[in-house]
Amino acid sequence: MTTEAKLFERGVHPAARRLAARASARGGHFGIRWDWFLVPAVLISLGLLALPQGMFILLSFHADLGLGQVSLAFTIDNYVRVLTDPFYGHAFWLTLYLSVAAAGIGLLVGFPAAYALARIGGWIASSLISLILTTSLVTVVVKLMGLNLILEPTGMINRALLALHLVRNPVQMLNDQTGVLIGLVQYTLPMTIVLLFGVVQTIPVSLEEAAATLGASNATIYRKIILPNSRAGLIATGLIAFNMSMGAFTSAVLLGGGRVLTMPVLIQQTIIQNTDYAKGAALSTVLVAFVFLINLSIGAVFAARGRKAAPDAG
């Protein structure tokens, strides 16, 4: 291949530059108006989003007449009920507590695990990452069946505890908050590790080595190098795990045995078992609005801090 051709291939040949300039003057690569591709995509997505969601929110402002019928009169009774009834308040706090706990445990285990993966590197790390992703891609019911078998009164953990005479009676983990919490960690941990792996990878190992050479203790290295460099990633990842848990339905039902009433479980029960569509819609709207607000406020707080700490960072 001639030098001329090589240059042309890399797009640095003057002729190619001229072509590129002409193409972009026409509004895109070789004259296609790429913006037009957005039209069908936006129309389809908007059609699937706005109309059903809008009607759902409207539904929440009408009184339920039973049998899935709602009155025509506008009312905020559903919201008053949802926001003042201690039954819903309890469900709300339970969901919040379980989600914060699941995200916290995920970060506590996931961060050192991701750190180890990033520092091991090479094919071992990439095959372990593939394995972790595979566990997250297999349908959740399979994982929950396995967890059920492990946690049940005659399951492996209880048999081991009984055999070691650590407990007299099997420990109740299923149909309980403990089981749901374990299920939520199982659900969110793969994503937590994979995202944090990307974060730790951006911290050069030479920084740690330099600090150690200069006599910094482990605690100092954590406090001054590892944590400050991964704070943004930790917050973003924790938030994603929190969001996933706030909406988690299947784990809460199958490990909670219908006794752990989180918001997603309650929404499904309200609509399917009680056929109270209006209240179900109000519950859903409150849940989604709350999760959005948390994300927005943490994002805003963090953006403000980031600007203060590093004025030149985008």
Partner 1 sequence: MRGEPDWSRRIASKCALAAAMVFLLAPFIVVLGSSFGTASEYRVDFPPHALTLANYAAISAGYIHAASVSLLVGSIVALLASIVGLCAALGLVRGRLVGREALQSFFRLPIQIPFVVTGAVFLQFYYQFADWTGLNLLSGPLGLILAHVFVAVPYSVGAISAVLVRFDPALEEAAESLGAGRWTTFWEVTFPVIRPGVMAGLFYAFIVSFGDVPVALFLATGPWTTLPVRIFQDMQFDFRPSMLAVSALISIVSLAVILGVQKLAGLELVEPRRR
Q: Is 267 in the site for partner 1 (CB under 8 A)?
A: yes
Q: Binding pattern to partner 1, positions 168-207, x when CB under 8 A? A: -----------------xx--xxx-xxx------------
Choose which of 100, 109, 161, 162 interacts with partner 1 (CB under 8 A). Answer: 109
**Interaction with partner 1 in 82-101: which residues (CB under 8 A)?**
none
- Provide the minimum distance between the beta carbon of 97 and partner 1 in the complex, in angstroms, as a whole number: 17
Residue 120 in tokens: 């091991």
Q: Which residues within the stretch 4-43 sit at the binding site for partner 1 (CB under 8 A)?
A: 8-11, 15-16, 19-20, 23, 27-42
Q: Does residue 130 belong to the site contacting partner 1 (CB under 8 A)?
A: yes
Output phi, psi for 64, to 5 deg.
-85, 135
Least Cβ distance, residue 55 to partner 1 (angstroms): 6
279 makes contact with partner 1 (CB under 8 A): no
Q: Which two tokens stand for residue 72?
A: 């025509």
Closer residue to partner 1 in complex, CB, 178/268: 268
Beta carbons of 114 and 125 less than 8 angstroms apart? no
Q: Applying CB under 8 A, which of residues 104, 153, 249, 294 lies at the interface with partner 1?
A: 249
C-alpha to C-alpha distance for 224 and 235, rounded to whole angstroms: 17
Closest distance to partner 1 from the beta carbon of 45 (Å) = 6
Question: Please, which residues bridge with residue 62 across strands?
Answer: 74
